[in-house]
Amino acid sequence: MTNFARRDFLQKTGLLTGGLLLPNGLVEVFATAPTADKIKIGVIGCGDRGKGLLKILQELPDKFEVVALCDELPFRLRDAQKIESASKAKAYADYRALLDARAVEAVIIAVPLHLHFAVAKAALLAGKQVFLEKTMTYDIPQAQELVRLVQQHPNQTLQVGHQYRYSPLYYRVKEMIAQGYLGKVTQIDCRWDRNGSWRRPVPEPGLERQINWRMYREYSGGLAAELLSHQMDFINWAFDTHADEIMGTGGIDYYKDGRETYDNVQVMVRYAREGMIGNFGATCANARDGYLFKLKGTKGTISLLIDEGIYYPEKETLKQYGTVDGVTGATKITWNKEGGIPITTGAEPLKDGSWYALSDFYRAIKENKIPDSNVLTGARTACTVHLANQAIYNHTIEKWRPEYNFT
């Protein structure tokens, strides 16, 4: 194979080139500093996720100014105020009082899942721009109503916090799928495993359900909502699809500590239009695999971590393009020991997915454009998670319905 042909293969796959097509001009936002005024933002919910986003906001000082914080638990407010970006923010115990504050233009909502809808609805009605953590809503009826509410407020942004797919790596993979470099994808294998109880310390017994809300079905969607929703969301988005049939199983198989949500789950999804099967699993009792995400097609496989990706061509693909090695033009081709090509996204190291997500939130507000993770994609994923949990807990096969096709 000539050097020209080899170079053409690599450039077409986009594996080793720096250029990256991102929807909605996202790459330009990252490359240039905005000249517009900062957005005054409040954070509702100052647990682990809320504090994590406050630390990301420190990295975006030209875009956001944190002016308000809210949490029902005083010690969480105190901890949040120690973060530099929030040191001058006004503290609230009631989110409705924060939403009444005229100084607050936008809010990040990082409360327990069962409160997502109520707080987001109140924020929209108060005229705020909204960054709502995943999963978007606790159940399907809430997702349907939130879609209607957002459509009634076209000058406001609602972005859903599926931050991992905001990485340039995941845009690159979506692009590769669209360009056919995996061929016909039939299997998707996903895991997100941990070895730990998932519990938070409780300073007094009366706060157990408030702090460890993820353990209780009244407040939480469990592992499907908290972890597997990220991968489910990416498949919906990358293939512009939805689940048609969902089966699942699970149990409280290790932590016999009074929890109600399962510590070990497996979900199988049939995507009928695409002819794909998706396997999504999570356990709290073994961390060996951690985060795994594999997309398997007739021409190749992509294996993804949160911030790394490898493309493994099938044998027939290699016969078609030849074995690429050595130096092609100015680009050094690096194969890993298993015969895969690392997927690169340019010279800059990847940032945390939340950095990209909040940058897109800023862009969406300033340009009055729909964010890539929006109320429609968020609703599709919320429906998938809800159906998955119904299948897991009720031992049923759940079917997608026409009323879940949000437009």
**Domain positions in the chain:** 18-163, 165-348+376-404
Residue length of the chain: 407
pLDDT tens string 60-113:
999 999 999 999 999 999 999 999 999 999 999 999 999 999 999 999 999 999
165-348+376-404 and 18-163 share a CATH fold: no
Q: What is the pLDDT of residues 317-376, one digit of tens each?
A: 887 765 544 323 334 445 566 778 999 887 689 999 999 999 999 999 999 999 999 999
Q: How far apart are CA 313 and CA 339, in angstroms?
A: 8
What predicted TM-score, i.e. pTM, was given to this entire model?
A: 0.89
Going by pLDDT thresholds of 50, 70 and 90, the confidence category of residue 7 is: very low
Question: Residue 137's pLDDT is what?
Answer: 98
Q: What is the mean pLDDT of the chain?
A: 89
In CATH terms, 165-348+376-404 corresponds, of 3.40.1830.10, 3.30.360.10, 2.60.260.20, 3.30.60.50, to 3.30.360.10
Q: pLDDT value at position 220?
A: 98
At 249-271, the pLDDT tens digits run 999 999 999 999 999 999 999 99
Q: What is the pLDDT of residue 32?
A: 28
The three-state (H, E, C) secondary structure of the chain, written as one string: CCHHHHHHHHHHHCCCCCCCCCHHHHHHHHHCCCCCCCEEEEEECCCHHHHHHHHHHCCCCCCEEEEEEECCCHHHHHHHHCCHHHCCCEEECCHHHHHHCCCCCEEEECCCHHHHHHHHHHHHHCCCEEEEECCCCCCHHHHHHHHHHHHCCCCCCEEEECHHHHCHHHHHHHHHHHCCCCCCEEEEEEEECCECCCCCCCCCHHHHHHHCHHHCCCCCCHHHHHHHHHHHHHHHHHHCCCCCEEEEEEECCCCCCCCCCCCEEEEEEEECCCCEEEEEEEECECCCCCEEEEEEECCEEEEECCCCEEEEECHHHHHHHCCCCCEECCEECCCCCCCCEECCCCCCCCCCHHHHHHHHHHHHHHHCCCCCCCHHHHHHHHHHHHHHHHHHHHCCCEECCHHHCCC
Range with lowest mean pLDDT among 29-33, 231-235, 367-371: 29-33
> What is residue 319's predicted lDDT score, i.e. its pLDDT?
76
CB 29 within 8 A of CB 55: no
pLDDT category of residue 406 using cuts at 50, 70 and 90: confident
- Angle at CA of residue 309, ends 198 and 250, nearest 5°: 35
CA distance 372 to 23: 8
18-163 has which CATH code? 3.40.50.720
Q: What pLDDT digit, counting tens, does each position of 126-153 carry?
A: 999 999 999 999 999 999 999 999 999 9
pLDDT band at 2 (very low <50, low <70, confident <90, very high): very low
What pLDDT, on a 0 to 100 scale, did the predictor assign at position 346? 78
Share of the chain above pLDDT 70, in %: 86
pLDDT of residue 337: 63
